[in-house]
Structure 1
Amino acid sequence: MTIDLTRRTLLQLAGATSLAAAAAGAARAEGNTQGGGQGSGPTYASRTPMRVGMVTLRVKQIDVVADYYRDMLGLTVMERSTASAQLGAGGVKLLVLEARPEAVIEPRSAAGLYHTAFLMPTRKDLARWLVHAASHRVPLSGFADHLVSESVYLDDPEGNGIEVYADRDPSQWQWSEGSVKMATDELNIPDLLSLTNTRVSDYAKAPDSLRVGHMHLRVGDLAQAENFYHGTVGLDPTRRRNGAAFLSSGRYHHHLGMNVWQSQGAGRRDDSMTGLAWFSLVTEKQELLAAQEARLRKAGAKVEALANGVEAVDPWGTRVRLIKV
């Protein structure tokens, strides 16, 4: 397919008039009003003691949403029925959709999913995907350079937030007293697109090593969220600012973001609504999983045993599965 991919085209898809306006859109997506690992193997985010595994969403229109992730991101539909759809990359399941045709769309003021962040294995893959998105006229929300990564934001047909990003090499990340430096700056789109042919899309499907790099949640209280995901689940703080906290395993910039920008004071989620059903954090270390389970039970968290781990429920009813792989 021949594409007239210009900066103007991308800005139109983002509903913006300038790169600064597109960065402002990304800032809104990240709630910030102030101004990678390369190669085809596992990215830094997937080589840490814990990492994000997969995500399950409740959706009203399962065919519409499944087709969207297949066509927009190039995920492979691994299983599909009227009740559910499983999508992934490289034979790895990343996204499960559960059909809830009678559900009400979860409001953005509720606790729940802020966005699912799909991590491209290389910067060139991000460039190739951006050409693909432009060729299919996929509406975008904004672009941003976060210093540690470069990101594009969008929403699926039911309003579930999505980030598609590529990490800069970890050697370029700047740490100070346990906090990683991040920003929401303008993305240098011409430099990114210089890595690929902008006139012909060669992005037929998601790269085999595409993974969910991080999850970003809406929560009702930041201190309470940190107590659960840091104090109990065991992720380490990497940054806190303006109503948001970022946590990770193994000095990744973040496997989990949490914010109260729209959801301060939110109560327990309604399971009859759409949105995030559960996500998983996976580990290869049995002792790490055992320590997590012990802390959860000691804290009085709701814990359910699974065949290969446990499922816990955060203070707002979002379920997180801690899995041994």
Structure 2
Amino acid sequence: MSDLPFAATTPISVARVGLKTRDADALAAYYRAVVGLEELARDGETITLGAANRPLLVLERDAAAKPDDPRSAGLFHTAFLLPSRADLGRWINHAIENKIQVEGASDHLVSEAAYLTDPEGNGIEIYADRPHESWKWDGPSVEMATLRMDIPGVVGSVPAGDAGWKGAPDNTVVGHVHLRVGDPNQAEAWWNKEFGFDTVKKYGTQAVFLSSGGYHHHIGANTWQSAGAGKRDASRSGLAWVEMRSAEAKTPSAYEDPWGTVIRAVPGQPG
């Protein structure tokens, strides 16, 4: 049993992500086979997936939905955080053995991450954090970068004779969600005000990273594809909502960010 990742021990953390999908069965099959999630429940047109009975992803079927527009506000990626570097190594071996298309593999100093896209265009990050005690801070700003991942090193962290990838391990969580927005400054102000998040990193005028409790980021917001985007088109597939677990919330509540993205808050203690 691995320890719960630091990302989930902060006062506010990501609980679940909801996706509107044109074909929930096909998308659920993808997340089971590729990400290693297990199906936890079905309720009408909704499928809930997770790891070790922890719900992480909810697929809501809408066969009439138009495809997501990557230039609009919405989801950049859902980031599934594995408990250890060896777990990421196991997943990389799984991706190689099953010829899973991976679009990138990066070392961000605070973490190591692989990137891919699901069949309906939703971005996915699968990553492992370095120990948070090793992260470097300059005042309120955490040091992050995008370097080439040391794939042999990550794979080499898997013990000899290991049983390999057996699906998303216990204590896998959604570590962060990265959003497409029209204006990172507006996103920053919204998350600062509504959730009390700290701004921990900016990449010029194009991206901002925010968090609770000293994590490197629970929310990212960028305009790499979506500069100037207005309100989201509710008839499109893609991100339906993001649910945050908050030790400060007394009752469940729902918000909309400046682009109409639904952000829920549910009461819950860290962990």
Q: TM-score, normalization: structure 1?
A: 0.79
- 1:38-117 matches, within 5 Å, as 40-80=2-42, 83-117=45-79
Hey, what does 2:222 align to over in structure 1? 259
Whole-Å separation in 2 of the counterparts to 1:244 and 1:207: 31
Question: What percentage of residue pairs aligned between the two structures are identical?
Answer: 44
Whole-Å separation in 2 of the counterparts to 1:230 and 1:201: 44
Match among 235, 241, 244 for residue 281 of structure 1: 244
Runs (4+) of structure 1 exceeding 4 A deviation are 197-201
Structure 1 pair 198–73 and aligned structure 2 pair: CA distance change class (3 A): farther
| CA-CA distance at 1:198 after TM superposition | 9.0
Whole-Å separation in 1 of the counterparts to 2:193 and 2:138: 22
Whole-Å separation in 1 of the counterparts to 2:96 and 2:246: 36
User: Bigger radius of gyration, 1 or 2?
Assistant: 1
Hey, what does 1:216 align to over in structure 2? 178
Hey, what does 1:147 align to over in structure 2? 109
| CA-CA distance at 1:199 after TM superposition | 9.6
8 Å CA contact 1:54, 1:95 repeated in 2? yes
Hey, what does 1:5 align to over in structure 2? none
| CA-CA distance at 1:200 after TM superposition | 8.2
Q: Give the partner amino acid of 2:121.
A: G
SS of residue in 1 equivalent to 2:147: coil
1:241-298 CA-to-partner distances (Å, cap 9, x unmatched) read 13100000001000000001111111110111001000111123xxx226xxxxxxxx
Whole-Å separation in 1 of the counterparts to 2:252 and 2:60: 21
Q: What root-mean-square deviation, in Å, do the aligned CA atoms of Structure 1 and Structure 2 show? A: 1.6
| CA-CA distance at 1:197 after TM superposition | 6.6
Hey, what does 1:322 align to over in structure 2? 265
Match among 94, 108, 111 for residue 132 of structure 1: 94
- Extract unaligned runs of 5+ from structure 2: none
SS of residue in 1 equivalent to 2:249: helix
Structure 1 pair 140–198 and aligned structure 2 pair: CA distance change class (3 A): farther
Q: Give the partner amino acid of 1:244.
A: A
Structure number having the greater strand percentage? 2
Hey, what does 1:304 align to over in structure 2? none
Whole-Å separation in 2 of the counterparts to 1:320 and 1:103: 20
8 Å CA contact 1:41, 1:209 repeated in 2? yes
| Structure with larger RCO (C-alpha < 8 A, sep 6+) | 2
Size of the alignment, in residue pairs? Answer: 267
| CA-CA distance at 1:233 after TM superposition | 2.0
Structure 1 pair 83–227 and aligned structure 2 pair: CA distance change class (3 A): same
| CA-CA distance at 1:80 after TM superposition | 2.7
Whole-Å separation in 1 of the counterparts to 2:59 and 2:163: 28
